[in-house]
Structure 1
Amino acid sequence: MPNFNGVIDISHHNGNVNLAAAKTDGIVGVMQKATQGQTGVDPTYARNRRRAETAELLWGAYHFGTGSDGVRQAENFLGVVGDSKALLVLDLEPNPTGPSMSLEEARAFVTHVHDKTGHFPGLYSGHYIKQLLGTKTDPILAKCWFWLAQYGPTPVVPPNWRSWTMWQYTDGAFGPDPHDVRGIGRCDRDMFNGDLGKLTAFWAAETS
């Protein structure tokens, strides 16, 4: 089954995006940064959500984890996302502006999201989760579907997951082509492990 290359992830760093134009370039799903830490909110989240809804694109939201109380971070995230049918994700990577989220804080975050929504969020990570876990496994984080960040030609999944669900293969500069998207320019692009039908079924199941 071929993998489907039709998802992007964006934040305020991408500026003023045209999601209607992105749709004409084959994009069907948008993951947008919603929050960071216990109080941070991405200023483009609400605007881009409206634009995605107008363009009839699948919508997702991610939280950038920091080294602080995981439950409070989850409350910040859920408060911004609200009751929208968004695909939810925890972004677990090194924090360039302060302490990075620990495994314990990540477990608290994903467990609280599950308690409130009935779904474990996806876990986005690359070398950081491989560094934290090594060859070990984590039964709580294993309940999350895995979104791999890796800009090489072949995805390498940590032992904690059998496979990747999404793969961020480029940040718009490094990694395999294509790098850009109409209406946005160079950006993070993501492969889904399956065809378009499987993608839409997965999105529906995780947001119901």
Structure 2
Amino acid sequence: MVAGLNVIVDISHHNGNVRFDKLAEAGIVGVIQKASQGQSNRDPTYDSNRSKAKDEGLLWGAYHFATGSDGVRQAQHFLDVIGDFRDTLLVLDFEPNPTGPSMGLEEARAFVTHINDVTGRYPGFYSGHYIKQLLGTNKDAILAECWFWLAQYGPTPVVPLNWPTWTMWQYTDGAFGPEPHKVEGVRFDRDKFNGELDQLKRLWGVEEAVA
């Protein structure tokens, strides 16, 4: 199994009633939740889960599920749902949309550029086979500004040429991929961080992280 700090889960409303106290007790440090989708949809559990996770001292992140529509409008909707973004790790979820058109590369560039213009930092870029299919052996200078979150349920991470390595790796969806899958008996998408805890906090923008 590839080394990495195995302390992150990602969730959405599909996870139901998440026990954040149990996550903290099991050593989970960060939670990344779906906040929005497209230009108008929002995850109904986002606000309540954010509050509960922070009460347990967990780092909080948010991702936007991309669709095939205006990238700037999607980015602004994402920011509107999040509100205060200063202590929230931001991510674009770039994968095929099973219910409609999928986001293309130009829309993705517009999305991440708008996030950077507003917040002063590029979001993470979550993808797997989809970005490998679209880019092939090519590189994209704008998307390369984002840190890369690989989605691949196998024993070895394979990173597109656009990034030198993975920053996070979603190695299981709770069913497929290497163990462990569960936290306190409940299946989660689980993610490794390619570094140490102080580096994870620095990525998150936590003030007490050491230089």
> 156, 161, 164: which is aligned to 1:162?
164
1:78-117 correspondence runs (5 A): 78-84=79-85, 85-117=87-119
Report the Cα distance in structure 2 between the residues aligned to 1:69 and 1:201, rounded to whole angstroms. 31
**Equivalent position amino acid for 1:105 in 2:** E
Sequence identity of aligned pairs in percent? 68
Write out aligned runs for 1:24-173 (5 A).
24-84=25-85, 85-173=87-175
CA distance in 1, matches of 2:184, 2:196: 21
- After TM superposition, the runs of 4+ consecutive aligned structure 1 residues lying more than 4 A away are none
CA distance in 1, matches of 2:71, 2:8: 27
Deviation at 1:200? 1.6
TM-score by length of 1: 0.96
- The amino acid that maps onto 2:32 is M
One-letter code of the match for 2:78? F
Task: Report deviation, 1:205.
Answer: 6.2
Query: Counterpart of 2:153 in structure 1: which amino acid?
Result: Y
SS of residue matched to 2:100: coil
Aligned equivalents of 2:73 and 2:206: distance in 1? 26
User: 2: distance between equivalents of 1:142 and 1:45?
Assistant: 28
1:14 aligns with 2:2: no
The Cα RMSD (Å) is: 1.6
Instruction: Report how many residues are paired.
Output: 206
Q: Structure 2, unaligned stretches of length 5 or more?
A: none
Structure 1 distance, partners of 2:42, 2:184, is 26
| Greater length-normalized contact order (CA 8 Å, ≥ 6 residues apart) | 1
Offset, 1:198: 1.8
Question: Which whole-Å CA distance do the structure 2 matches of 1:23 and 1:205 have between them?
Answer: 17
SS of alignment partner, residue 111 of structure 1: helix
